[in-house]
Amino acid sequence: MSSSPKREIGGTSSILGASFNPAKMDRRLLMLFVIVVLIFLVMSVLKPDVFPTTTNFGSMTVQFPEIGILAIAIMITMITGGIDLSVTATANLTGTIAAFILVAMVPQNAGALQSIPGVLTAVVVALAIGALCGLLNGILVAIVGITPILATLGTLSLYTGFAIVLSKGTAIFGVPQFQALSEASLFDLIPTPLILFLVVTVIFSVILNRTPYGFRLYLLGSNPTAARFSGVNERRMLILTYMLSGMLGALAGLIFLSRNNSAKADYGSSYVLQAILIAVLGGINPAGGFGKISGLVLAILALQFLSTGLNMLLITYSGSNFFKEFAWGALLLLVMVFDSLPNILPRRITARAPTIQESEKEQRT
């Protein structure tokens, strides 16, 4: 019997089409929605004076946008069956270069109008460098043929080392005018980082669901053979996807810089693991071919509510950060177990059926 063809591009090997399961994704979304509501209600009951308050919501909306944007970058590369481990390094490199540009072009006492040319230059250069970082990743994966996890692990070290050389291992401080961007808000309610995250979410939701690029991306991830016969240029798709991932990393780096008024080569080194956790929890298939932005958003809310609530509950306990990571991992495993139950139970019933029939036959004899 001939074996089914398997994926070669993307660094994983899954049977073609096996990852596409709309019913399973719908169950995952419903489960995540229930989890978000339950965590919110439990934390509101345990900490009614601080958790369900506008001040706390304002604090949370500033914390997760950068990780959310990194998670979207991880998501689009995962849909191809690959991954981009270098997004945080890209963010730090672009943030460091943007900080140098701001310091050089924007005087400390400059007004809003005087700072516009420097700010625009820093943003454009950062996004361009992010695209170049993604281009290198795409070339290594699509043309050279290196497994994505190894290619982006190598560029992670490369970009981090480049940022260390540029900054000489120290933090590069920006300018107050750029920091004011993250402190600004719409109607004094919605902070700028959250607005950026929402805009990116809407844009990529439209791209993935309403454009030929999105259709080809899912087809490439789930069935590369069918994609080739459909005329999809696999190399071009992979290079473009990794370039988009690099630009999202650069955008996250600008948010880093604006929120902290400084850039450093190793800032947010754990963010890439958190972004992967969010993507997997949100139902993005690591083998490629399936995943939704809505699942990603629900996963972000679940982890943010959980981490904020645990910090409030365990604020006097020195190991609260370790317990938070334990809770994140436990939540991921719990969701995956419940997600797999509909597939596990029928197999067990089928496996036990002959035994039951044999026992009934023995009783008759």
Distances in whole angstroms, Cα of residue 121 to Cα of each of 96, 128, 216, 240, 311: 14, 11, 33, 23, 38
- In terms of DSSP H, where are the helices of the chain? 22-46, 54-63, 65-79, 87-105, 112-138, 148-167, 176-183, 192-210, 212-222, 224-229, 234-260, 271-281, 293-313, 320-364
CA torsion 259→263→265→268, rounded to 10°? -10
Backbone torsions φ then ψ of 52, nearest 5 degrees: -85, 55
Domain limits, the chain: 22-357
**Distance between CA atoms of residues 327 and 319, nearest Å:** 12
SS3 292: coil
pTM for the structure as a whole = 0.85
Return the H-helix or E-strand segment holding 288.
none
Could you list the mean pLDDT of each consecutive 10-residue stretch along the chain, which spans 365 residues?
40 38 72 92 91 86 89 95 95 94 83 82 96 97 95 96 91 78 75 91 94 93 86 94 97 91 84 90 86 92 88 69 72 77 60 55 57
Cα separation, 274 vs 204, whole angstroms = 20
Contact assessment for residue 315 and residue 49, using Cβ atoms and an 8 Å cutoff: no
Distances (CA, A) of 16 to 81, 117, 310: 11, 50, 41
pLDDT of residue 246: 97
d(CA 99, CA 346): 57
Burial of 318: CB neighbours in 10 Å, binned 0-12, 13-18, 19+: exposed
Six token digits for residue 120: 């625009």
Instruction: For domain 22-357, give the CATH number.
Output: 1.10.3470
- Helix, coil or strand: residue 80: coil
Sign of torsion over alpha carbons 297, 300, 304, 310: positive
Q: How far apart are CA 283 and CA 338, in angstroms?
A: 13
Angle of CA points 191, 197, 198, to nearest 5°: 90
Burial call 137-175: b when 16+ CB within 10 Å, e when fewer: bbbbbbeeebbbbebbebbbebbbebbbebbeeeebbbb
**C-alpha torsion sign, points 117, 120, 123, 126:** negative
CA angle centred on 220, ends 219 and 224, rounded to 5°:
105
Question: Residue holding tokens 């904020």?
Answer: 308
